[in-house]
Chains A and B, each alone.
Chain A
Amino acid sequence: MELTSLYFFAFVLFGCLVYYLVPKKAQWVILLIASLVFFAASSGILTVYMLATTAVIYLGALWLSNEAEKFDAFRKELDKAQRKEAKQKFKRAQKWRIAGIVIAVLGILVALKYFNLGIEIANVVSRLFHTGIVFEKYSLILPLGISYYSLMAISYVTDVYRGLTKAEKNPFKVLLFVSYFPHITEGPFDRYKDLSPQFYSGHSFDYNSFFDGIILVIYGLFKKLVVADRLGMTVSEVFNNATAHSGSAVVIATVMYTIQLYCDFSGCIDIISGVSQLFGIKVAENFRQPFFSKSINEFWRRWHITLGLWLKEYVYYPVILSGHFKKVDKFAKNHLKSQHLINVVPAAYALFFVWFSNGLWHGASYKYILYGLYYYFLMMLGELCKPLFDKLKSLLKIKDGNKVFVAFQILRTFIIVNIGMLLFRSTSISEFAHLIRQSLTSVNFFSGAMEVMAVSKRVVSGVLGVIVVLILSIIKEKSTDKPIGKIVRGKKDFMGYVICVFMVISILFFGIYGPSFDVADFVYAQF
């Protein structure tokens, strides 16, 4: 069931109707049924993997919680010295338990998603050692949203381990969190402690909130169908025949791809957020006008926000709390003279795991790993050179809030991001290298733009759509992230209706849907 299909919206509206008719205590059951129906309709028999993951974290969380309770009861009987030793033993045991649970959950994900990458590596090693053995790859079908629900499952059980959340005794409530249908396809990565109060508190129908949800959904559809898919058709035509185009056309197509990817992913998140809001549930924010970022660090705090937060919570913090990190930190303190380096080197060690994981999460391919490490390398370079840049700024008397400097920072960040997106778009690392070389062959962007326009005149309405998105993004940025619904409605609801009607008509007239097109799948759904 596509998020842009009429069947999906009919499903959502029917779900809303039933949701608000049943007693509040039973509303979460309706959500659970709807989620399971949605999942089964999309994945069929593969639903069993999601159920297996849910069973592992449900039982695992209860196990951790029971052991913690047992230990709490046990330690009261001990004296002070014994307590310290017992606590260390207990912590070690809990670590092994959580590690086992996480490995079990990741194991399902790795086996399905990264199996062929493992085979590829095994074949490389086999060739290196001239064994003559060739391992076969398999074509595996992944269940819907496995990359998303697996990580959310890990976040739940880890939060229980850390004592941030109580283990849920009702398995169906855990199942609802894992399978919740709006966020299962493309996130965001919600945390159990944020969603569960909303699931079970019960909601009355609130017109304004419902209307805001509708506005979000329409805006998401506009971004996806009018902007992303229109740009995508031209981008595909240029990249599928890149050698026939000039370097500047490739550059423009890259920029278009970046905008396409943003509108595709954020459009989907808007639809998800809007749909969730129809049920009175707010999911985590995942995008905050990322192209206004002044640095890569800031970009990744505005783009796919919840993935960054997840990696920080569940990769970065465990790494910096690990014994290995402490050794690196000690080594840096003992052997490095510069205080700056003493701070940067251990951080670089921990962040390597974060960015490697970021790349690997996106796909089972060297290209994606390189994508993650590209940002890692640039960030570390930035951090290492920070004292130099600060000196340069001071010499040139540039103040941080200076508008020209801010514009430079935004443009610089945008260029860096586009290079990363070119890697993301390329089918392989060698193709990426070739396209980079080609991009440098011509700088006549006007003729490049004409060339791209000539590929498909359909792109014109997409470009106009980009202007609409840009205007709303600027307003949202200036209003310190007021929700889109409130921005569109303004002081009078009347504007909300007008803008909705305008967007709906734009979608009907300019959207990429129907049998004349191959409607593009959401890009991030493939992860």
Chain B
Amino acid sequence: MMKKIYAKRIIALILSFSVIIASVIFSQEYLFINDDANSWRVRNFYLEEKNSLDVVILGSSEVFAGYSAGLAYGKYGYTSYPFATDSSSVEIWKSQLNEVLKHQNPSVILLEISGVLYEKDEQIFDDVSLRRYLDNIPFSMNKIQTLADCQLQEETLSYLFSIVKYHDNVNNAVHAFQEKMYYSRLGYARLRGFLTRTDIDDAPSLDYSGEKTLDLNENAFDYLTDFVDYCKSKGIENIVFCRFPHKYYEEGDLDLVYRKNTAKKYILEAGYDFLDLEATADEIGLTDADYYNCYHLNVFGAEKLTDYLSNVFINKYDLKPRELSDRNKIEWQDTADVTNRVFDYVRAQSKKRTDEVVFESRSSLNVI
């Protein structure tokens, strides 16, 4: 009799805990999630078929605004993905690299270095920027290591269990669920993380040629050296550092250029390649009208830069597109087609300077 009672209690406890844990997992995966372009860009990286990407580009918003994977595939036949989030910092580079190498074996990894150019510690250790990436990667040893490597501003539990941070997103839960189901059913992101604005900022830039240098932030430099050492220790040779094109309106802004020069010098001395796309802006064919603001290329600029980088990958780094599965080919062709439609739309809207943000979401692509 007692055994029966104990058995009932054990079963009841196990069932109760199971229901609670299942609710937490479901809500974390489908309801209480960040529902913005950055979050979907990170999450949708994991929808890419394993080892199907020829190129992965890491960095900040310059990357997903200034480069289009859809255009690249459509014109040059290789696959790529911008594994990048707004204002991302050098403190996550190692983690991002590990995530890429866990799921993909790209021929080229391009790393845009804006994350190492911040002047202040608050920018390097900004929690919002960190969470744009960290809250959207799956739970793994790399995620735990990232928590140890980064300077966390909030309780650790909130980074491990997103429900702790986002359970108040109840109002957005339905929309988040719908987006999640949309991408899960689709199996890929149609625009592969591309985002732009329908605007043209044609103000002229200051001249920023020259090799003047400025010291990097101390913490940023430590992270950079640690990252380079890490790449060397892992024998990662296919990583190429770069700086996407920008415009500069005030003298004070040029500090970014001087810090870039410092970083560039260090990276080259370490034996890695550095594509200074600011210095080759003319070669790329960029004009002042190819930006929607001083830090980001618009669709006109993105097309030019995508062409330029594609030629660099193919000619300089001998990129040969890999064989894709039949299904993957269909998906990438769809990406190329949708990208072309989006670009047509954005070009037309940009000329009107409507300044709307265009990115992939369930509702926005239907409109386009």
Chain A positions near chain B (C-beta within 8 angstroms): 6, 207, 457-458, 461, 493-494, 497, 500-501, 504-505, 508-511, 513-517
Nearest CB in chain B to that of A515: its residue: B154
A505 touches B20 (CB 8 A): yes
A508 touches B23 (CB 8 A): yes
- B19 is an interface residue with CB less than 8 A from chain A: yes
Closest beta carbon of chain B to A368's beta carbon, Å: 33
Which 6 A-B pairs rank lowest in CB-CB distance, beginning with the nearest? A515-B154, A514-B164, A497-B12, A497-B16, A515-B158, A505-B23
Contacts of A494 in B (CB 8 A): 12
A516 touches B168 (CB 8 A): yes
Query: What is the number of contacts between chain A and chain B, taking CB atoms within 8 Å?
Result: 52
Contacts of A461 in B (CB 8 A): 170
B20 touches A497 (CB 8 A): no
- Give the docked Cα–Cα distance between A519 and B7 (Å): 39
- B163 is an interface residue with CB less than 8 A from chain A: yes
Contacts of A505 in B (CB 8 A): 19-20, 23
- B323 is an interface residue with CB less than 8 A from chain A: no
Given known contacts A457-B171, A514-B167, A515-B164, is B158 in contact with A504 (CB within 8 Å)? no
- B270 is an interface residue with CB less than 8 A from chain A: no
5 pairs of residues in contact across A and B, judged by CB atoms under 8 Å:
A458-B168, A505-B23, A514-B155, A514-B158, A515-B165
Given known contacts A514-B158, A516-B166, is B15 in contact with A497 (CB within 8 Å)? yes
- How many residues belonging to B are interface residues under a CB distance threshold of 8 Å? 24
- Give the docked Cα–Cα distance between A501 and B22 (Å): 11
Indicate which residue in B20, B23, B24, B165 contacts A516 across the interface (CB closer than 8 Å).
B165
A501 touches B170 (CB 8 A): no
B154 touches A508 (CB 8 A): no
- With A501-B19, A509-B23 known, 10 other A-B pairs at CB within 8 A are A497-B15, A505-B19, A508-B27, A509-B163, A509-B167, A510-B170, A513-B164, A514-B158, A514-B164, A516-B166
Contacts of B168 in A (CB 8 A): 458, 514, 516-517
Task: Please classify the interface of chain A as helix (H, G, I), strand (E, B), loop, or mixed, using the class held by over half of its residues.
Answer: helix
Closest beta carbon of chain A to B39's beta carbon, Å: 16
- Give the docked Cα–Cα distance between A180 and B32 (Å): 39
- Give the docked Cα–Cα distance between A493 and B12 (Å): 9
A501 touches B167 (CB 8 A): no
| B12-33 contact mask (Cβ, 8 Å, vs A): 1 or 0 | 1101100110011001000010
Contacts of B19 in A (CB 8 A): 501, 505
Closest beta carbon of chain A to B27's beta carbon, Å: 7
B167 touches A508 (CB 8 A): yes
Nearest CB in chain A to that of B22: its residue: A505
Contacts of B163 in A (CB 8 A): 508-509
- B157 is an interface residue with CB less than 8 A from chain A: yes
Contacts of A517 in B (CB 8 A): 168
- B102 is an interface residue with CB less than 8 A from chain A: no
Nearest CB in chain B to that of A498: its residue: B16
Contacts of B155 in A (CB 8 A): 514-515
Closest beta carbon of chain A to B148's beta carbon, Å: 19
Contacts of B171 in A (CB 8 A): 457
Closest beta carbon of chain B to A459's beta carbon, Å: 12
- Give the docked Cα–Cα distance between A494 and B9 (Å): 9
B170 touches A509 (CB 8 A): yes
A509 touches B165 (CB 8 A): no
Nearest CB in chain B to that of A208: its residue: B9
Contacts of A513 in B (CB 8 A): 164
| B153-178 contact mask (Cβ, 8 Å, vs A): 1 or 0 | 01101100001111110110000000
Contacts of B20 in A (CB 8 A): 501, 504-505, 508
